[in-house]
Chain A
Amino acid sequence: MTVLADLALKSAAAGALSLALGGAPLGVLLVARRMSLMGDAMSHALLPGVAIAFLLAGPDPVALTLGALAAALVVAAASTLFSRARAMPEDASFAVFYLTALAAGVLILGRSVGEEVVHALLFGAPGALDAHGLILAASAATATLVSLAFFVRGFLAEGADPVFMRAARAPGWALHILLMMLVALNLVAGFRAFGALMTVAMMMIPAASARYWARGYVGQAGAAILLSATASGAGLLLAGMFGVEPGAVMTLAAAALFAGSAVVGPINGLIQNLPGRAHLEG
């Protein structure tokens, strides 16, 4: 296909596929744990890290990535510590940390020419996915899938019944931190190409849609990967055709798939729940 002949678009497609493989299964865990806004919070928190990196090293891609990663990990660790101390509900501690981070980022950017940073955070630039960027995205996906394969029992148990896991002396906090780090890694891998907020969208919207397709975690993760990859493909093609920002179009495509899932999905979809069909089961 002529559109895909464009190298930048090919890179973007590979990056988006990595994001689907890594981000979507994490999104399913976050949705299930009622932490849907956590990714959002963390993406805002990238701002000061990227801004400081920009101040120190200019628009160097490695520096921007490291800055983002450092900021995301600091916010993830700090808010985890606060909520584990049970002084604060997790969403509240996230709100505190990400708004603080956002304010710090705004302050730093106000003192420098940060257009590149703001643009990267909001829109992303698919051209930014050079070889390094692709390796990072593929590594994030690999690390995520390997971690999920190893620790899936722990993630599910900790998410479904944290009280039981505490009584069983399971290392819930370690699993929690691992989950946060994986979210941070995928976010950082995606933000320069697709924008931080749009990267989160590709993590969370397919995950939410997947609840209309499957009941168990594995089914939902598989559905989320497929939905995310489909939305990315469609979004990239449409963005290429109309010359607009791909991150936003990918997100809108994911939202369209969400709407479609909510109508035709076999689990609590609108059609499934029509009067007369509601009592077919059990």
Chain B
Amino acid sequence: MLKNIWDYLDSRLKLSAALEFGRKKKVPEHRYSFWSYFGGICLFLVVIQVLTGVLLLLYYTPSIDAAHESIVFIMSQIRFGWLIRSVHSWTANILIGAIFVHMFSSYFLKAYRPPRELTWVSGFFLLVIFLAFGFSGYLLPWNELSFFATKVGTDIAGVVPLVGKALKAFILGGSQVSGATLTRFFWLHVAILPLFTLGVLGVHLLLVQILGMSKPIGIPDRSVREVSFFPDFLIKDSLGWTLILVLIGVLCVFLPWEVGLKADAFAATPLGIRPEWYFTFMFTTLKLIPSHILTFEGEVLAILAFLVGGIFWLAVPFLDRRAAKEQRGRFFTVAGLVIVLYIAVMTALTYL
């Protein structure tokens, strides 16, 4: 019976050929291989996001009169609605964390060096896209925290030199967080960003397939062995996915994502408002920076510094000439460590 089904599908979809490709495709295995599984974990989490997001769309209503109510309805009236929403929210956070780990591990292992510069660049854009996913998705429940955090976040965008005011007005659809903002964020979250993801993620995966995974600099060939992508690498990937599923399940049951109080534009800003954890290092920097440094506004300087930092991060494969020559170099490793330390300290300061 099973064989007949397989034969039917194989003759039409050429599954044997795909499996053969997987068997022939080799993946390097070495002492740093652990980090290469984070790419697969990110992909797995993206799939969960798509599935749960599509299900949430069945009941979510993107208007200020009904958004919060629809979330309460999903959480309390829909069978397993609480699970779908909690999985979506928790996975979103774990995904951002996994993207950070994947990015920094690729950075420190210098996986960006030629010919994989474009893999790095596409990965960078994926990070930006998923941060935008997080920012836009946070407002959708239309609760007090998300409302004021969006206000704070868009205020930051408003400080960007020259284009700040126009950018803020474009994001908000006006001068304040309103129904127009919610509609825009929903449109961004379920239409525009998924479209970008499809393109950029496609390019990223295609490049990984074409170019394969990199081997870290200086690892002797004898300590690197090659395993087939299917089934060896995929089975190890599956182990990681299984453990991640357990983690998500435990989080959803014991800490289901809160609905919060409905946003009230006329209420006073609650104490301790801050954006999602992955934006807090920027938020705290802006809070701590002096209002003026020499004759410049502190906030503007900080925003400019983040912009320059982002451009530097994007251009790393083209700047690190030693890595391009398969030579170890300290500058970029130290720079990366400083950046990690900065993000960690600023994030910790937000919660202390």
A and B: real partners? no
